[in-house]
Amino acid sequence: MIYQEKIPELGELTLEPVCPDRHAELLHGWVTVPRNEFWGMGSHTLDQVREIYAFLDGLDTHHAYLILLDGEPVGLFQSYQPEADPVGERYPVQVGDMGLHLLLNPPRRYLRGLTAAVGPALVRFLLQDSATQRIVVEPDVRNETALRRLRVEGFTFAAEIDMPDKRAQLAFLTRARFEADHPTPAK
């Protein structure tokens, strides 16, 4: 466990570092579901998923976490330093930028409102590091659900960029904007 936060009406959110050998089967089941096509791993084998997360596990610049609600896995969260990622070659990275990827694959009972509740908790986790001043995301331009959620959360849209595997919408959320819109929850 690396982070915990009580989310009203949902439960205890926990971030647990991904263990590639232990979690590969779970992750493979999520990334290959057709509704998760924008994750870009739909045709990957179990071994390929394990290898990708083993590679990420060996980096100091990229981190993968299981998102648990009351101990039950509901998603995958990845953070990364943009200057060490292909996105960093496509925009002027600023000191304090931190990238975020999110894949939710919850059981039915969590479908409504989960992203709205979990998203801010993940940003709070990233902002624990006082050096982090801006969150960077680059969803596929066709992922209308993600783009809608980013607008609601106060992200500012920048240019569309060509990533190795997609046309992406670059967007940013500053610490100041987030903190103004999301007061720190009581512990």
Q: How far apart are CA 173 and CA 156, in angstroms?
A: 6
The string of pLDDT tens digits covering residues 121-165 is: 999 999 999 999 999 999 999 999 999 999 999 999 999 999 999
Main-chain phi, psi angles of 28, to 5 degrees: -60, -40
The string of pLDDT tens digits covering residues 28-74 is: 999 999 989 999 999 999 999 999 999 999 999 999 999 999 999 99
Q: How far apart are CA 5 and CA 14, in angstroms?
A: 7
pLDDT at 20: 97
Strand partners, 79: 63, 100
pTM of the model: 0.92
Alpha carbon distances (Å) from 86 to 21, 82, 142, 143, 187: 26, 7, 19, 19, 37
What structural domains and CATH numbers belong to the chain? 3-181 (3.40.630.30)
Element (H, E) at 63: strand 62-69
The string of pLDDT tens digits covering residues 172-186 is: 999 999 999 987 655
